[in-house]
Amino acid sequence: MIPSDADLTDRPQEIPAWADVPDRLKPVLARQMEVFAGFLSHADHQVGRVIDTLEELEILDDTLVLYLIGDNGASAEGTPNGTFNELLVFNQTMDLETPEFLAAHIDDFGSPAANNHYAVGWAHATCTPYQWTKQVASHFGGTRNGMVTHWPNGFTSRGELRPQFHHVVDIAPTILEAAGIPAPLFVHGIQQMPFHGVAMNYAFDDAAAAGRHETQYFEIVCNRGIYHQGWSAVTRHSIPWLAAQMPVFDDDTWELYDTTSDWTQAHDLAAVHPEKLHELQRLFLIEAVKYGALPLDDRRVERFLAEIAGRPELITGTSQLLFGGMSRLSESSIINTKNVSHSITADIVVPAPDTTGVLVAQGGAFGGWSLYLLEGRPTYCYNLFGIQRTFVRGNDPVSPGHHQVRSEFAYDGGLGGGADLTLFVNGAPVGRERLERSTPLVYSYDETTDVGSDGGSTVSDEYGQTDNRFPGTVNWVQIDVGTDDADHLISPDERWRVSMARQ
């Protein structure tokens, strides 16, 4: 598939060579790729089951299959050492994870105990022979993927390659053309935006057909490029695993490649053809305006937080009331408790002296918080990326009956700062603890908030994953942000004000 005269591109200096990896980490990095290979084998097997089923149903030959190999380049979000929990990268807290920690947990990689990601060197290796990786939309390492097309009764060609340039936006027009269905002009009375792509069907049986997708812009976190009639102009603005380091736009260096003769973007022609580079730079701006890619915004850490980025929030205000039985609530549907002082109050009915069960939990094994009873003792657990768990406990079990259990988080300030943690029962303090660091940006992408249980993986390792439901009654849970409640209780009058704050 790769032309025999294609050149292997140079490894960027920001990505370490295997020879430069410390010997103590080489087994860890090898394990990371073993895990990925196992996952790839699993994914391949499952895709095979789909294809086998189509064949068993005797419809495979009539089915148009478009199989994209990859996700706009292999992911470089794992740091040079890889990571046991990729949320460390998204929160830019990689310093919490030492080489000693990685080595000590090598056997857990690939298991439910890990949220692992391979090292950036593997990302670069699996994007061979191109430059760079996923997120670097300027270069082919971050954009170019192979695609297999299979449709025995739709075209006659077999086992051939196609050189025409196409983009993922061409898939929908291809399917519509194959099905003989025109693109809808209106859906439910709403005028539709025209498809940005072009159908690929013309090339199914004509390898020499002139390509119809002549121009395509690319932009991800301001790594940007433009393809036009075989030429590509590109500039890498940022590095995926260094989300907090944003250079000045004026310092970005543009490169120029003739991809008709340089299949891998190995030979920069910017100095040889400056007029062509300027032409493509202007074309990028035209396309970026046309498709809404401007203004460029290279904030990444800030864009995780709606109040900093200026993005609308689903939940606003300073208080949110949840009720027993609510579960699988996404992080964006819960009021944000990161980087602020806050309290969590659970109004419960305890059935027995030694009751164990979760009152409310947000997140999972790789980050979040949980308020629960453990053999009757009230407990709050703060989970910092699965690396550190801080517990606040009451000494005495909560007696059977009606109670309020409350945790207060007195925040130091800043981003990902520390806090004083205090646990209350019926307004009286029962435990205190110090938290030196907290999650700055995101607890999880797939874990949720649950009232009366902890679904998915568990925030705390002190209760089971399948038997943590609170056996009593959780009447309600109230989350308050930035408030100072002198009596550390929520009275009926306060509940009324929260409930009636918005109709």
Domain locations along the chain? 214-300, 319-499
As a whole number of angstroms, the distance between CA 179 and CA 294 comes to: 35
- Phi/psi of residue 332, each to 5°? -75, -10
pLDDT, one tens digit per residue, over 255-279 is 999 999 999 999 999 999 999 999 9
Q: How confident is the model at residue 164 (pLDDT cuts 50, 70, 90)?
A: very high
pLDDT at 59 over 70: yes
Residue 344's beta-bridge partner residues?
407, 479
Q: What pLDDT, on a 0 to 100 scale, did the predictor assign at position 186?
A: 96
In the chain, % helix, strand, coil (3-state, to 5) comes to 25, 25, 50
Mean pLDDT of 128-153: 95
Mean pLDDT of 340-349: 97
pLDDT > 70 fraction of the chain, expressed in percent and rounded:
99
- Burial group, residue 57, by CB count within 10 angstroms (0-12, 13-18, 19+): exposed
Q: Strand (E) positions, 282-341?
A: 319-323
Mean pLDDT of 383-390: 96
pLDDT at 487 over 90: no
Three-state DSSP at 201 gives helix
Residue 384's beta-bridge partner residues?
388
β-pairing, 449-451 vs 428-435, is unpaired
Residue 291: which residues within 8 A CB-CB, separation 6 or more?
Answer: 196, 217
pLDDT at 475 over 80: yes
pLDDT, one tens digit per residue, over 295-319 is 998 887 777 777 777 888 888 889 9
pLDDT at 502 over 60: no
319-499 topology per CATH: Jelly Rolls (2.60.120)
- Report how far Cα 50 is from the mean position of its chain's Cα atoms: 26
- Report how far Cα 412 is from the mean position of its chain's Cα atoms: 28
CATH 3.40.50.300 matches 214-300: no
As a whole number of angstroms, the distance between CA 302 and CA 148 comes to: 38
As a whole number of angstroms, the distance between CA 364 and CA 239 comes to: 28
Q: What pLDDT, on a 0 to 100 scale, did the predictor assign at position 486?
A: 74
pLDDT at 3 over 60: yes
As a whole number of angstroms, the distance between CA 96 and CA 384 comes to: 9
